[in-house]
Amino acid sequence: MFRGIVLVFLGACSFGVLSTFVKLAYKEGFSLGEVTGSQVFFGFVILWLIVLLRHLMSKKRYASTLKEKLQLAAMGTSTGLVSIFYYKCVQLIPASISILLLMQFTWMSLLLESVMKRRLPKLSQVGTVALVLLGTCLAGRLFSGEVSNFNVTGIVFGLLAAFSYTIFLTINGSAGNHMHPTTKSALILTGACVLILAVFPPAFLVNGALTSGLLKWGLVLALFGTVIPPLFYAYGTPKAGLGISAILSAAELPVAVLMSSIVLQEEVLAIQWLGVAVILVAIILSNVGALRKRNSNKTVVPEATQ
């Protein structure tokens, strides 16, 4: 279990550093298309190389149909939209605010689930949403009167990224659950790669951008954004459990804010850290119930078999 906890935590931290690296790539003059395109391209290559090596070294095979593979690739388009919208958001507003907008998937997921199942959310769930929104207002400096300094277009792109991520989370468990994690991740990334390179044709492969510094950022973003997180989550979540994994995943938020403060020298006020803390508390509380249920099941099962 400890190994699973470490893997999930590292996966969350890996996601958290992305916005800082994207900002640094923009500072060197690279465009949205070059940043997103190079990330998915190199991530695509690395993940499929891992799949190939595993296929050559392991005798175990995971059967899957063409329909399932196409479903996973189609699901990947939602992650492609997340990258496009989120990185555009990072381009327009501070990284410490961009991550807050992405975290709005917490209440969007609840709202979408309520609509799909045609039932009102529980009071505890409404309370969690209220905490998330309060934390966002605090962390977004809404009460300090500085929100007008933020680019409205950037805020819209951040919310679109959160919504796209909500769609991905909703459909993620609908296909390929019997596949090896590396294969499923590679197929999902294939869909993201096709979408992003269709929107932003990969001119960076031939225009000299790679030799001008883009190669470095493409590999770094691929590693921390498309290789480490899905693999670490895939291997760590079953060992740590969904409740603990969901709580640990919240590490992405403070890591992103901390990196933006230390590396990018963005101003992060005390009230913003308070907002981050409120959001983290909301995420933890929303998963305590599932965690308690998991632990109670562990204690009940042995008694029933005696």
What are the tens digits of pLDDT across the range 240-257?
776 677 778 888 889 999
> Concatenated DSSP letters for 178-237?
TS-HHHHHHHHHHHHHHHHHHHS--GGGTSSTGGGTHHHHHHHHHIIIIIHHHHHHHHHH
Closest CA to 19 of 291, 269, 264: 264
Nearest to residue 244, comparing CAs of 233, 229, 255? 233
| % of the chain at pLDDT higher than 90 | 41
Element holding 108 (H helix, E strand): helix 105-117
Question: Is residue 298 predicted with pLDDT exceeding 60?
Answer: no
Looking at the structure of the chain, the number of domains it has is 1
pLDDT at res. 66: 85
Q: Lowest mean pLDDT: which of 83-97, 209-223, 264-278?
A: 264-278
250 domain residue, yes or no: yes
Domain assignment of residue 305, yes or no: no
How distant, in Å, are the alpha carbons of 133, 264, 282 from that of 74? 31, 35, 32
**Residue 231, domain member (yes or no):** yes
Instruction: State how far the Cα of 71 lies from the Cα of 42, in Å rounded to an integer.
Output: 22
Q: Which residues contact 292 (CB under 8 A, 6 or more apart)?
A: none
Q: What end-to-end distance do the CA atoms of the chain give, in Å?
A: 25
* DSSP secondary structure of 38-75: HHHHHHHHHHHHHHHHHHHH--------HHHHHHHHHH
Q: What would the two tokens of residue 9 be?
A: 């935590």
Quick one: pLDDT at residue 302? 42
Compute the distance between CA of residue 69 and CA of residue 72 in angstroms, rounded to an integer: 5
Confidence of residue 24 (pLDDT cuts 50, 70, 90): very high
Please tell me the distance from the alpha carbon of residue 134 to that of residue 144, in angstroms, as a whole number: 13
Nearest to 221 by CA among 196, 250, 246, 239: 196
Q: What is the pLDDT of residue 299?
A: 47
What tokens were used for 148?
């007008």
Q: What percent of the chain has pLDDT over 70?
A: 89
Q: Residue 139: its pLDDT value, please?
A: 81
Please give the mean pLDDT across all residues of the chain.
Answer: 85
Q: Tell me, what's the pLDDT at 290? A: 56
Residue 120 lies in a domain: yes
Residue 300 has pLDDT above 60, yes or no: no
Q: Are 257 and 268 in contact (CB under 8 A)?
A: yes
Q: What is the pLDDT of residue 31?
A: 95
Q: What is the pLDDT at residue 116?
A: 84
Give the separation between CA 91 and CA 117, rounded to whole angstroms: 36
| Segment 222-234 mean pLDDT | 89
**9 belongs to a structural domain:** yes
- Is 238's pLDDT higher than 80? no
Q: Is residue 104 domain-resident?
A: yes
Give 123-154 pLDDT, tens digit per residue. Answer: 877 888 888 888 888 887 776 655 546 788 99
- Above 90 in pLDDT, residue 122? no
**How confident is the model at residue 306, as a pLDDT?**
33
In a domain, 304, yes or no: no
The domain containing residue 157 runs over which residues?
A: 2-299
Q: Does residue 75 lie in a domain region?
A: yes
**How does pLDDT run across 149-180, given as a tens digit for each residue?**
678 899 999 999 999 988 887 777 666 777 88
